[in-house]
Amino acid sequence: MSHVKNAEAFTRVVSLFTGFGGMYNPGRPTLQMEALTSQVNQIQLVLEAVKTAKANYDWHVNQRKQAFDKMPRILAGILRRLEASGVKQEQLEDARGFVHQFTGVTSRSRKPLASENVESTPAPKGTSLQLAFAARVDAFSKLVAALKTEALYDPFETGYKIPELEASVQELTQLNHALDKARKEWRLKLVDRNKVLYINENSMMYAVRAIKKYIRGLFGHDSGEYALMKELDVKQPRNS
């Protein structure tokens, strides 16, 4: 059962009390109508907060993906221009190594890039390379640092000059940080939701269990009132 369906079930439980009239009057303050109505509102707030945080996280995921998807073409362009500049083979191999770290190609499988479409170069199965985005930015940063020391690398084309590449490093770094922050914020909202819905002793799930016990004691196990309550169950979903 989803969190939304659980919340709907709890709302139905609370709404049923209006049909019981003054008979529903538990001594426990957290089970009284005013407290339960407030709890319904709180549940809606935490669910909406999760939804908003997840949407923000997804937006940052897309922003980062779009930025990283542009990089293989740029990296291939850097290598083409570096090759054309006449740098020594050692410097060229070092640059290829940083590009391969970014794209996920191991040192054993290094081959000269046939075109600027590096996106088609897959990482070999079983590779132990760290393809985390932070590691990819680190590889790109090292490539740019190496280019700064190579006097022969001096392209005229926009997008390949050192200041522009340094700006790209900063952009990718900031995108990583922003996404990490959005992920943490989303996870914190998930923690808040689980506390309100399932974990705290006054959570929605525990409230439903206590209410069922109260209704059973009030109307009896075979009563119609208790039968209505038994149908409305709340359980914490797995991996939530």
pLDDT by residue (tens digit) across 111-132? 443 333 333 233 333 223 224 8
Domain that holds residue 77: 70-180
176 shares its domain with 110? yes
Residue 40 above 80 pLDDT? Answer: yes
Among 152, 145, 185, which residue's Cα sits nearest to residue 169? 145
In percent, the amount of the chain with pLDDT more than 70 equals 87
Residue 130 lies in a domain: yes
Same domain, residue pair 126 and 149 = yes
Residue 57 has pLDDT above 50, yes or no: yes
Q: How far apart are CA 226 and CA 20, in angstroms?
A: 11
| Residue 119 and residue 209 share a domain | no
Examine residue 240 and state whether it is found in any structural domain, yes or no: no
pLDDT of residue 212: 85
Structural tokens at position 224: 């119609």
In a shared domain, residues 74 and 165: yes
Answer yes or no: do 77 and 176 share one domain: yes
93 shares its domain with 162: yes
State mean pLDDT over 85-102.
93
| Residue 236 belongs to a domain | no
- Residue 154 is assigned to a structural domain of this protein: yes
91 shares a domain with 34: no
Same domain for 58 and 94? no
Same domain, 92 and 152: yes
Same domain, 76 and 40: no
Residue 239 lies in a domain: no
Name every residue whose Cβ is closer than 8 Å to that of residue 56 and which is 6 or more positions away in sequence: 182, 185, 186
Per-residue model confidence (pLDDT) at position 112: 41
pLDDT score at 140: 97
Higher pLDDT, 9 or 80: 80
Residue with tokens 């290598």: 79
Single pTM value for the model = 0.79
187 lies in the same domain as 160: no
On whether both 212 and 157 belong to a single domain, the answer is no
DSSP code, position 27: S
User: Total domain count for the chain?
Assistant: 2
189-220 pLDDT, tens digit each? 999 999 999 988 889 888 888 888 888 888 88
Structural domain contains residue 34:
yes
Cα radius of gyration rounded to whole Å, the chain:
29
Q: Can you tell me the mean pLDDT for 95-118?
A: 64
Q: Is residue 155 part of a domain?
A: yes
For the residues 61-84, what does the mean pLDDT come to?
A: 94
**Residue, of 2 and 233, whose pLDDT is higher:** 2
